[in-house]
Structure 1
Amino acid sequence: MGLEHARPAHIRVLGPDHPDTFHVRNNVAYWRAEAGDLAGAAASAKRLLGDVVRVFGADHALAHIVRANLEDWT
């Protein structure tokens, strides 16, 4: 089962704002970028960043990671 298929299960079981769900979303975006879909990865990262900041704040470690990834992909 790929990461893209794991995301709905994480959302259903853990909820959309659970840290593990955010990490799965970040990993999906990362591997999308690795596969060459930089635009798709950046779009996913933008949505994820908004959610991470909403739940944990702008200074959370994951927010910094997602921001750095977004810079790399844009």
Structure 2
Amino acid sequence: MLSTMISLGQNLNLRVIAVGGESLQQLDICQRLDCEEVQGFWLTLTLNPEDVTQLLLSNCSELPPTLY
């Protein structure tokens, strides 16, 4: 079902974002299905604006570029 939803969105020229990524395995599946954006608690818990800035300044090099 995930593959179908991603393909449908891409065929409609929509920006497809997988929501709820909570494990590396789920992120790998999304990448294999050509879903370029994933949102979820595996990457980070909900942050306030100041903490987002700190995260981006300190940890971006640790995340694969297709995940943020």
Instruction: Name the TM-score, length of structure 1 as normaliser.
Output: 0.28
Higher helix share: 1
Higher strand share: 2
Instruction: Tell me which structure has the larger Cα radius of gyration.
Output: 2
Instruction: Name the TM-score, length of structure 2 as normaliser.
Output: 0.30
